C-alpha cells in the first residue's frame, strides 16, 4: 500500500504536521456575491495607470521577465526619495512570498519566533513550516496594545524573528511610536523584527512609527509593503521588503531567477505614479470609516477604531461569528470571521465603496 504513513521517513515532521495557510476565501466559493468585504482589497478596483501598463505590455509576455527587477528596485528607491538604495529592496510575489523567504532565511527547525495575536496568521503558518516553535505574546486590552515587556521577556537564545503587523490585521489598531521604540532599544542582536506595514497608506494617526526610521538607525528590521491593498493589485501578487544592506543582500540570495512576474512589475511601477488613484482610495476609506463609526454607534454595535481599510466589530446578533458570516454570505456580502486570527466572536469588515457600506448597514 503506497500511503503516506508507510513512507513516513521521507517526510519532515514539522511540514507533515502543519496546516496549509489558505488565506481568505474567494468569490468562487460563494455562488452569488455582490460585495466582497472579507479580504481588505481595494473596492475601487485597480489603479487605472496599472491597468493601462498591463495592457501596453501584454504583447511581451513570451519573454522571461522583460522588465528587469533592477529597474523595479530603482523605482522603489526613488519612491523612498533615495533614503534606501535599490539593493535594499527584495521584491516578491506578494507579501506572503516575502514572509516565506524571510522565514527560510532566518529560521531553522528548533528556533523560536514571536507573534502577538490576534494577528495575521500567515506569520504562524510560515514559521511552523520552517520548523519554528511559535511563541504567542498576545496583544493587551481593548486597544490591543503590544506587550513589549512580555515580548522582551519571551526572547531566548533560540528566538530569531518577531512579527509585528502595524496597523494590525485584524484589529486595525496601530502600535504607537513609544512602544516600538522601547522594543527596538532592547532588541538583542540575534533577533530580527519583521515589521509589516502593508496597510500603512491608510494610517491617519500622528504617532505611527515607520520601519524605515528603524532601518536608518541600523536596527534589525525588515519592512514589508504590498501592492495588494491601497494600489488594488491583490491578484497580481506583488510586494516588497526592505532592510539594511546586510539583511537585504542576504535575503536576495534566496530569490529565484525571474521570480517576479513581468506584468506585475510594470503594473506596480505604474501604480506608484498613480497619485490620483491613491488619494481617491484614501478619501473613500476615510469617508467609509466615519460612516461606519456613526452607524455602528447608532446600531449599538461595538467596534475597534481603525487605522486601516477594515474594521473589527463584535458580531451583533445572537449567533456565532461563523454563523453570522454565513448569514451575510446568504445576503450576497462576504465579511470575515476573525476567530482564525484569534479574535473569537469578532467579525472583520473591509471598508468599501459608499454603496457597499450602505448595503452592509442596511442588512445589520
Ligand atoms: C498584515 C498582512 N500582511 C501581509 C499580507 C499579505 O499580502 P499580499 O501577500 O497580498 O501582499 C496581508 C494580506 O492580507 C496582511 O493582512
Task: Confirm if 43 and 232 have CB atoms less than 8 A apart.
Answer: no
Report the separation in Å between the CA atom of 219 and the middle of ligand 1, taken as the mean of its atom positions: 23
Q: Are residues 244 and 346 in the same domain?
A: no
Rg of the chain, C-alpha, whole Å: 21
Q: Is residue 7 part of a domain?
A: no
Q: Is residue 63 part of a domain?
A: yes
Q: Are residues 234 and 284 in the same domain?
A: no
Model pLDDT, residue 1? 46
Q: Are residues 341 and 212 in the same domain?
A: no
Q: Are residues 91 and 147 in the same domain?
A: yes
- Phi first, then psi: what are they for 152, rounded to 5°? -60, -40
Q: Are residues 57 and 170 in the same domain?
A: yes
Is 166's C-beta closer than 6 angstroms to any atom of ligand 1?
no
Q: Is residue 1 part of a domain?
A: no
Of 208, 243, 273, the one marking the end of a domain is: 273
Size of the chain in residues = 364
Model pLDDT, residue 30? 65
Q: Are residues 226 and 292 in the same domain?
A: no
Q: Give 33's contacts (C-beta < 8 A, 6+ positions apart).
A: 27, 329, 332, 333, 334
Is 228's C-beta closer than 6 angstroms to any atom of ligand 1?
yes
The protein residue with its alpha carbon nearest to ligand 1, atom 6, reads 95
Q: What CA–CA distance (Å, rounded) separates 350 from 201? A: 15
Peptide bond into 170 cis (omega under 30): yes
3-state secondary structure of 327: helix
User: Using the 8-state DSSP alphabet, how is residue 317 labeled?
Assistant: S
Nearest ligand 1 atom to the CA of 234 is 10
Report the separation in Å between the CA atom of 7 and the middle of ligand 1, taken as the mean of its atom positions: 35
Q: Are residues 310 and 284 in the same domain?
A: yes
CA atoms within 13 A on the CB side of 310: 28
Q: Centre a 10 Å sphere on the Cβ of residue 218 and count the other Cβ atoms it contains.
A: 10
Q: Is residue 2 part of a domain?
A: no
Q: Cell 498613480 appears where? A: 274
- CATH code of residue 318: 3.90.1150.10
Task: Confirm if 242 and 248 have CB atoms less than 8 A apart.
Answer: yes
In a mutational test of the pocket of ligand 1, which residue from 96, 202, 268 has the highest number of ligand atoms less than 8 Å from its CB?
96
- CATH code of residue 137: 3.40.640.10
Nearest ligand 1 atom to the CA of 239 is 11
Is 232's C-beta closer than 6 angstroms to any atom of ligand 1?
no
Report the separation in Å between the CA atom of 225 and the middle of ligand 1, taken as the mean of its atom positions: 9
Q: Are residues 81 and 29 in the same domain?
A: no
Q: Is residue 8 part of a domain?
A: no
Please list the pLDDT of the chain residue by residue as tens digits (364 residues). Answer: 455 555 568 888 888 888 877 777 777 766 676 899 999 999 999 999 999 999 999 999 999 876 789 999 999 999 999 999 999 999 999 999 999 999 999 999 999 999 999 999 999 999 999 999 999 999 999 999 999 999 999 999 999 999 999 999 999 999 999 999 999 999 999 999 999 999 999 999 999 999 999 999 999 999 999 999 999 999 999 999 999 999 999 999 999 988 999 999 999 999 999 999 999 999 999 999 999 999 999 999 999 999 999 999 998 777 888 999 999 999 999 999 999 999 999 999 999 999 999 999 999 9
Q: Are residues 265 and 163 in the same domain?
A: yes
The DSSP secondary structure of 208-260, one letter per residue, reads ---HHHHHHTT-SEEEEEESSSTT--GGG--EEEE--HHHHHHHHTTPPTT-S
Task: Confirm if 207 and 338 have CB atoms less than 8 A apart.
Answer: no
Report the separation in Å between the CA atom of 142 and the middle of ligand 1, taken as the mean of its atom positions: 24
Q: Are residues 208 and 317 in the same domain?
A: no
Nearest ligand 1 atom to the CA of 228 is 10
The DSSP secondary structure of 30-44, one letter per residue, reads SSS-SEE-SS---TT
Q: Is residue 6 part of a domain?
A: no
Q: Are residues 61 and 181 in the same domain?
A: yes
In a mutational test of the pocket of ligand 1, which residue from 120, 201, 348 has the highest number of ligand atoms less than 8 Å from its CB?
120
Q: How many domains does the chain have?
A: 2
The protein residue with its alpha carbon nearest to ligand 1, atom 5, reads 95
- Phi first, then psi: what are they for 356, rounded to 5°? -65, -45
Nearest ligand 1 atom to the CA of 98 is 9
Of 239, 255, 273, the one marking the end of a domain is: 273
Nearest to 203 by CA among 168, 243, 228: 168
Q: Are residues 185 and 62 in the same domain?
A: yes
User: Using the 8-state DSSP alphabet, how is residue 137 labeled?
Assistant: -
Give bridge partners of residue 334 from the DSSP assignment.
36
Is 288's C-beta closer than 6 angstroms to any atom of ligand 1?
no
Model pLDDT, residue 120? 97
The pTM score is 0.94
Domain range enclosing 246: 48-273
Q: Is residue 4 part of a domain?
A: no
In a mutational test of the pocket of ligand 1, which residue from 42, 122, 124 has the highest number of ligand atoms less than 8 Å from its CB?
122
Of 273, 299, 323, the one marking the end of a domain is: 273
Task: Confirm if 14 and 324 have CB atoms less than 8 A apart.
Answer: no
Amino acid at each position: 500500500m503506497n500511503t503516506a504513513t508507510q513512507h513516513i521517513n521521507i517526510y519532515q515532521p514539522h511540514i507533515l504536521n502543519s496546516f496549509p495557510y489558505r488565506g481568505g476565501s474567494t468569490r468562487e466559493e460563494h455562488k452569488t456575491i455582490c460585495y466582497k468585504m472579507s479580504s481588505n482589497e481595494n473596492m475601487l478596483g485597480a489603479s487605472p495607470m496599472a491597468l493601462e501598463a498591463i495592457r501596453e505590455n501584454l504583447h511581451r509576455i513570451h519573454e522571461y521577465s522583460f522588465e528587469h527587477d533592477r529597474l523595479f528596485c530603482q523605482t522603489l528607491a526613488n519612491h523612498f526619495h533615495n533614503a534606501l538604495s535599490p539593493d535594499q529592496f527584495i521584491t516578491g510575489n506578494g507579501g506572503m512570498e516575502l514572509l516565506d523567504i524571510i522565514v527560510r532565511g532566518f529560521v531553522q527547525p528548533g528556533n523560536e519566533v514571536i507573534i502577538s495575536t490576534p494577528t495575521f496568521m500567515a506569520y504562524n503558518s510560515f514559521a511552523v513550516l520552517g520548523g519554528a516553535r511559535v511563541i504567542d505574546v498576545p496583544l493587551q486590552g481593548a486597544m490591543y496594545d503590544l506587550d513589549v515587556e512580555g515580548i522582551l521577556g519571551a526572547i531566548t537564545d533560540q528566538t530569531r524573528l518577531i512579527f509585528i503587523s502595524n496597523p494590525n490585521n485584524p484589529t486595525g489598531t496601530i502600535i504607537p511610536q513609544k512602544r516600538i521604540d522601547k522594543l527596538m532599544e532592547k532588541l538583542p542582536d540575534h533577533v530580527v523584527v519583521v515589521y509589516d506595514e502593508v496597510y500603512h497608506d491608510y494610517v491617519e494617526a500622528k504617532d505611527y512609527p515607520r520601519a524605515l526610521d528603524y532601518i536608518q538607525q541600523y536596527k534589525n528590521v525588515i519592512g514589508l509593503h504590498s501592492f495588494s491593498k491601497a494600489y488594488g493589485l491583490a491578484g497580481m501578487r506583488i510586494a516588497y521588503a526592505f532592510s539594511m544592506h546586510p539583511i537585504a543582500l542576504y535575503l536576495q540570495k534566496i530569490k529565484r531567477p525571474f521570480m517576479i512576474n513581468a506584468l506585475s512589475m510594470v503594473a506596480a511601477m505604474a501604480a506608484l505614479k498613480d497619485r490620483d488613484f491613491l488619494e481617491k482610495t484614501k478619501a473613500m476609506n476615510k469617508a467609509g470609516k466615519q460612516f461606519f463609526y456613526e452607524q455602528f454607534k447608532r446600531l449599538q454595535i461595538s467596534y475597534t477604531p481603525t487605522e486601516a481599510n477594515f474594521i473589527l466589530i463584535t458580531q451583533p446578533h445572537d449567533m456565532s461569528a461563523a454563523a453570522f458570516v454565513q448569514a451575510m454570505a446568504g445576503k450576497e456580502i462576504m465579511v470575515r470571521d476573525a476567530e482564525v486570527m484569534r479574535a473569537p466572536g469578532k467579525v472583520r469588515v473591509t471598508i468599501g465603496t459608499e454603496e457597499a457600506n450602505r448595503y452592509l448597514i442596511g442588512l445589520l
